[in-house]
Amino acid sequence: MADIIDGKAFAANLRIAIALQVADIRVIYGVTPGLAVVLVGDDPASQVYTRNKTRQARETGMASFEHRLPANASRQQLLELINRLNKDAQVNGILVQLPLPKQIDVEAVIDAIHPAKDVDGFKPVNMGHLLIGGEGMVPCTPQGCLMLLKSRFGDLSGQHALVIGRSNIVGKPMAALLLRENCTVTVAHSHTRDLPEECARADILIAAVGQPRFIQGEWIKPGATVIDVGINRIDAGDGKTRLVGDVDFEAAVKVAGAITPVPGGVGPMTIVCLLLNTLTAACQQHSIPAPSLGGAFPKAP
């Protein structure tokens, strides 16, 4: 049976390390990192995500500011809010919860966020830094996946990594990060011809497809490390719903060397990396040395 990679426990420890740093910089420099979370509309899943982000920011001693706009808010209203947050010195990071209502185009919104406050790492300038090896904000979900991998392997050099999915928020930045770690990286997508064959070669398999239990246990290379990014809500059969990943966990756990569960794997890492990015952004904006999390955690990318 595979080792279960406990993202929830890892994230909880990392949150403590972040809280210590937040306390330190408040005492030494008089700075309290601030995160603004913007929610447009009333999508239930988005409400849960934004509530968790705001709560966890507060728990680590940061200031958190929640902004809600109605589902029929205009693009102009949202851009004006972002503009105010860009100028607000108490706000070091801005997160606009996706997806947005149809009338507001995501690109314009990402474009409006100041690059130094782009704690999601979605702006082209930050994506560019990621590709060329510069210093910029790294998207939270792939950053969290990489931390889990480095905590298991240390050095990832030479590993065959397969990233399934090529979205701008998960697949592409994940592939860029693994390349930076000297992995041999394959990116699969909906046009990939023989996905089971690609999986069979992968020492590290990252699934970010958005289809429940899509990756079959028998596709996985025995002993491989499987990181399941997927969050899919399915009918549990008893009138309730439950969350499953993109990997058929029950089958994969018998073949893989290590695997992340859903829930409790990548999800908690995404939020804690948002907090880490906010802390980093605050340090950069106040010319404070980069946060040091101690030897227990792999260095942030």
The one among 27, 102, 107, 191 contacting ligand NDP by CB under 6 A: 191
Give the catalytic positions in this structure: 53, 97, 120
Segment near ligand NDP (CB under 6 A); pick from 12-20, 64-72, 116-124, 206-214: 206-214
* Nearer CB in complex with ligand NDP: 228/288: 228
C-alpha to C-alpha distance for 85 and 36, rounded to whole angstroms: 8
By the rule CB under 6 A, 107 interacts with ligand NDP? no
Q: How far is the CB of 189 from ligand NDP (least distance, A)?
A: 4
Q: How far is the CB of 285 from ligand NDP (least distance, A)?
A: 26
Q: Which two tokens stand for residue 296?
A: 């227990």
3-class SS at 156?
A: coil
Kindly identify the residues of this chain, within the stretch 141-180, that bind ligand NDP according to CB under 6 A.
141, 164-167, 169-171
The one among 174, 195, 220, 253 contacting ligand NDP by CB under 6 A: 195
3-class SS at 205?
A: strand
* Nearer CB in complex with ligand NDP: 20/200: 200
Partners of residue 207 on adjacent β-strands? 164, 228
Kindly identify the residues of this chain, within the stretch 237-296, that bind ligand NDP according to CB under 6 A.
246, 266-267, 270
* Nearer CB in complex with ligand NDP: 40/170: 170
Segment near ligand NDP (CB under 6 A); pick from 22-30, 99-107, 185-193, 290-298: 185-193
C-alpha to C-alpha distance for 78 and 104, rounded to whole angstroms: 8
Which contacts of 228-232 are long-range, i.e. CB under 8 A and separated by 24 or more positions? 228/259, 228/260, 228/261, 228/262, 228/265, 228/266, 229/141, 229/145, 229/165, 229/170, 229/266, 230/262, 231/262, 231/263, 231/267
Which H helix or E strand runs over 39? strand 34-40
Segment near ligand NDP (CB under 6 A); pick from 55-63, 71-79, 184-192, 279-287: 184-192
By the 8 A CB rule, do 118 and 273 touch?
no
* Dihedral sign computed on CA atoms, order 167, 15, 61, 33: negative
* Nearer CB in complex with ligand NDP: 25/266: 266
Segment near ligand NDP (CB under 6 A); pick from 120-128, 177-185, 188-196, 215-223: 188-196
Q: How far is the CB of 175 from ligand NDP (least distance, A)?
A: 11
The closest residue (CB) to ligand NDP is 167
By the 8 A CB rule, do 266 and 227 touch?
yes
Size of residue set near ligand NDP by CB under 6 A = 25
By the 8 A CB rule, do 245 and 232 touch?
yes
Q: Which residues bind ligand NDP (CB under 6 A)?
A: 141, 164-167, 169-171, 188-192, 195, 208-210, 229-232, 246, 266-267, 270
